[in-house]
Structure 1
Amino acid sequence: MTVRPLSRLSPTRFLTRRGLGFVLVALLCLVGAWILGRRDLLTLAVFLLALPVLAVLGVRTRHERFRVRREFHPAPVQEGTTTTVHLFISPSAGPSSGPVRQGWRDRWSRLPGTGAMVESTMVEQLPERLGGSPRFRYPSRSARGGSVSAYEYRLAPPHRGVFPVGGVTAEFRDPFDLAWQRHTVDPGTELLVTPRPGELSPGLLDLLRGHAGIGVGGSQTTSWVASASENDVMVREYRHGDALRRVHWPSTARRGELMVRHEEGGALPRITLMLDQRAAVHTGGDLAPFPVPGAAASLRTTASFEWQLRTFLSVALGLAGLGHELRLQDHAGEPAFQRSRSAPHPELEVMGAAEAPELLPECLAALELTEPSAPLALSGTGGLLVAFTGRLGLEDAGNLVSGMLNGAGTAASWAGSRGTPQATVISCWPVSPGGDVRDLLETAGWRVLWASPGDSAARLLERWAGPPGGGSQAPPDAALSRASGGDKS
């Protein structure tokens, strides 16, 4: 308990090596003056002791202020790539702290070596995962007459997440290099690092869409997009989950409430993507723990969850690139990114094709596993569905079947889409789902794709054996009964 207060009073916190040398020589002169009775040694001791004290007072009463600005190129940055940080530092005149005190500071600033462009050492504080903290000399060689000092360095974030960059600490010394002071100049900036999309098999997106264009209530055509003119556009009140791109601003301004476009023309069907974020399905078991990923140092994640995030991102971007509108949900049927601190719109559930490339990587940057675990629950699917999960058990499989059968419009289109499953589950676990789990899901019209955390997403199709029995599917009532029996077991 006594070590900490003594360390705060340590002379090394205020004095440089030269200043400590002055103090040591002053003490020796005091001893010599007392033993020899020499007044000149006493005068020299007082002089040598007064210099460091005055230097400490001068440095400690200075409060230099700076403007700090950072720019990242690119921003956000993808994990495994490099971003360039541009740091701009310029002097800033602080607010007055009273006429008497400010006048004293003005007189001090006129002393040699204490002008506005005082030299100092700037240190950019970085987390250990981003490497060592770079040091800069202020002002830079390019700064003249109080202009901005510009610096540049590069960062290579090893994994996704939100990293604090900065703040900058400045170290000041007196003109005689006897005393020093260090203080923080700015609070710092956050760097957003997004996950890297995984590599997909060429035919995976066509498989998820319903065998190259056959979907719920759809027909086999090369393109489902029908252009809608302005006359085909109507507006309605905003509903929770509507895509931001559908907001109709002229109508919103006229009516004083948020209105969205309701397009009557044809469009690609909406696809629901469910991302299971439960810690229980990504940890535990005889084959766990998995190798700890680098992101686990700052995020609650596992190797299987990181695999799912990369695959989820690549599938979502691929479907959005084809023009599909996406409904994004978590394991509880709620907006998928409501717990992500990197999501710009946490409550956003429906994402348009144009918004996905920009918003999706940011939303996934800081997404973590959640506790406590809750059973799977699908909400308002009513169309094509892709579920991303970890360890897939019989109870979760039963919940998937029940939720899909209860979705709007799915059971009604079952007979018309027989032989073409409308839902897919992608499981990531060291071993494939059990035979009873596969039988239940495939009988109810699901595809079961499986991969190990160390595999590439391109192996999903290699391990898929296709629908059982030549593609014949059981009626929805039989599948729902089978799901209920699975829950009881």
Structure 2
Amino acid sequence: MGWTSKTSSKNCSPAPPSASWHRMEKTPRFDSRNALSWVRSERSTPATLRRLRLDLLTVRGWCTLGAGALLMFFAYLFGRHELMALGISLIVLAAVSWGLALGLRGRTRIQRQVLSTVPSVGEVCRVRLSCAESATIQERLPESFGPGPKFEAPGGLDYELVFGTRGIHQLGPAQQIVSDSLGLIQGMVNTGETMDVPVRSELIDLHRFASLGEQMLTGDARHSLSTTADYYDVAIRDYQQGDSIRQVHWKASARQGKLMVRQENHVATAQALLILDTAFDHWCHSGVDLRLSIPAGAKEDLPSSRRFETALSLASSIGLCYASSGYQLSVRDLSGAPLISEHPQATSDVAAQSNFESFHAATAVLALSTGGTEMAASEIFGDGLHKELLGYRDEPVIMILGELTMIQARWLATLARTVRHAEIFILVAHPERYSDVHQELAGTGWKIHLIPATMGAEQMWGGA
């Protein structure tokens, strides 16, 4: 299922049959995580010239302008009209070539199409770039990818991207290489428009790790079902001693010639609650945390840290495990505010997958919160979340936290009387400093994980 740039609806005409489609033996792949795959070349052109687009002038173009200005100066000194005309002609020639090159900006019709579904971090995203006019086109990729692919139009090419961070990444505008027959102009001008590509958080296959994939979805936590029916499955069976007379299905009994009763089977969706700590101070509070900037398209970048990105990847991976097992996932922050728009009216399988997809899609733009709700120093959850936990006594609850003090751990341990099945992941810079916290929570019967901040999600379960 592919999707196309909104800005290229007028440019969707297919390339003519005679156009060459640039298909290489191996589709070029650009991986933003591999910083050694390309070398950044510093531009020697002054920034002022680039801003005015005077960098399009070649050495010959600058010499032509200089010669024209010099001839005009000599014409002024010696009063020679023919020198003045020649000088003006050289300047006009260079200026016209420069103006025609700038006039090509946005004129070339470019079509850009993402052939893959909405990608996640680490997944291969296939993109198609095409142009129906004669031109030399080079794609512009986000800076972390390096120089983009180049092709001769009419035609196009396919290329692959592997994103190293989540967010809204921008592709384009593409650049057209322009030149003139006199050699006065040589450079690239923007053509076409940008395209936003949302990239979701990374997914790790936790099913292959026994420490998480099996323990969470088996045993006591797996059997628990919501007490609210999604629907009732009605069936007809033979009458048995003890059945109420009100359950007799008289029409079916008349057809079968014996007493038949109506049986209503309660069909419910398994519920699970995922609590994700999104407080900025809990993830970016020490010098150990590697700060990151998450692209947000045309908006300002979102602040984050490597530790929070690991936590978000873990949350998405756990959510996928539960959704695949039929759990309808609710996602809350520490205040109890929902991080996704839920679909309580949907039936079980649809609701489970829909809620996870909503959460995973939201991770592309999920930002850390800088202002939290007012709560006591000993409490880590807001009143709204505290009340909601009352409805998850026999349901699995997963907590992913970035900071937990000893006094908060004692308060959290008191919830063991309310929540029976909980699994807590605490991602901290120095796990050895949290031995008391771990010991306090270990007495609850919950599963407690202290995870070092330097460990990625893949490494986290690699040794399980």
Provide the TM-score with structure 1 as the length reference. 0.60
SS of the residue corresponding to residue 270 of structure 2 reads: coil
Alpha-carbon spacing, 1:72–1:196, altered in 2? closer, same or farther (3 Å): same
Higher strand share: 2
CA distance in 1, matches of 2:462, 2:164: 30
Which of residues 108, 119, 123 in structure 2 aligns to 1:77?
119
| Runs of 5+ unmatched residues, structure 2 | 1-45, 236-263, 345-349, 374-379
What is the match of residue 17 of structure 1? Answer: 59
Offset of residue 165 of structure 1: 1.0
SS of aligned partner of 2:210:
coil
Q: Quote the offset at 1:356 in angstroms.
A: 5.4
- 1:9, 1:304 → 2: CA distance? 38
**1:314: Cα distance to partner?**
1.9
Q: Corresponding residue for 2:107?
A: 65
| CA deviations over 1:232-261 (Å, ceiling 9, x no partner) | 9xxxxxxxxxxxxxxxxxxxxxxxxxxxxx
| d(CA) in 2 for partners of 1:28, 1:362 | 62
In structure 2, the partner of 1:95 is none
More displaced 10-residue stretch of structure 1: 452-461 or 24-33: 452-461
Question: Do residues 313 (structure 1) and 316 (structure 2) align?
Answer: yes
CA offset at residue 152 of structure 1?
Answer: 2.9
The whole-number CA distance in structure 2 between the counterparts of 1:63 and 1:443 is 67
Match of 2:170 among 164, 180, 186: 164
Q: Does the Cα contact within 8 Å between 2:402 and 2:426 map onto a contact in 1?
A: yes
Q: Quote the offset at 1:327 in angstroms.
A: 1.3
Question: How far does residue 188 in structure 1 lie from its aligned partner after superposition?
Answer: 0.8
- 1:264 to 1:166, Cα distance in 2 relative to 1, 3 A: farther
CA RMSD of aligned residues (A): 4.4
Distance 1:332 1:433, change over 3 A: farther
Q: Does 1:185 align with 2:197?
A: no
1:332 to 309, 330, 335: 335
Match of 1:244 in 2: none
Counterpart-to-counterpart distance in 2, 1:368 and 1:231: 46
Aligned residue among 195, 200, 203 for 1:194: 200
SS at match of 1:208: coil
1:390 equivalent in structure 2 = 402
Shift of 1:459: 9.0
Spell out the pairing of 1:339-418 with structure 2 (5 A cutoff): 346-348=340-342, 352-355=351-354, 358-374=357-373, 375-377=380-382, 378=385, 379-381=387-389, 382=392, 383-401=395-413
Question: Which digits, 9 at most, give the CA deviation of each residue in 1:119-143, with x for residues without a partner?
Answer: 5543433222122244444xx1xx3
Unaligned 5+ residue runs, structure 1? Answer: 91-116, 144-148, 219-223, 233-262, 337-345, 411-420, 465-489
The CA deviation at 1:18 is: 3.1
Alignment partners' CA distance in 2, 1:307 and 1:54: 55
Change (3 A) 1:405 1:433: farther
Report if the CA contact (8 A) 1:127-1:164 is conserved: yes
Deviation string, structure 1 residues 174-225 (Cα, Å, up to 9, x no partner): 554545796543331122223333354315344334636665579xxxxx9x
Alpha-carbon distance in structure 1 between the residues aligned to 2:106 and 2:89: 28
Q: Is the 8 A contact 1:199 1:457 kept in 2?
A: no
Counting aligned pairs with the same residue, the percent is 20
Matched residues, number: 365
CA spacing shift, 1:150–1:459, aligned 2, 3 Å:
closer
- After TM superposition, the score normalised by the length of structure 2 is 0.63
Amino acid at match of 1:188: T
Quote the Cα distance in structure 1 between the aligned partners of 2:455 and 2:231: 42
Q: Which residue of 2 aligns with 1:451?
A: 451
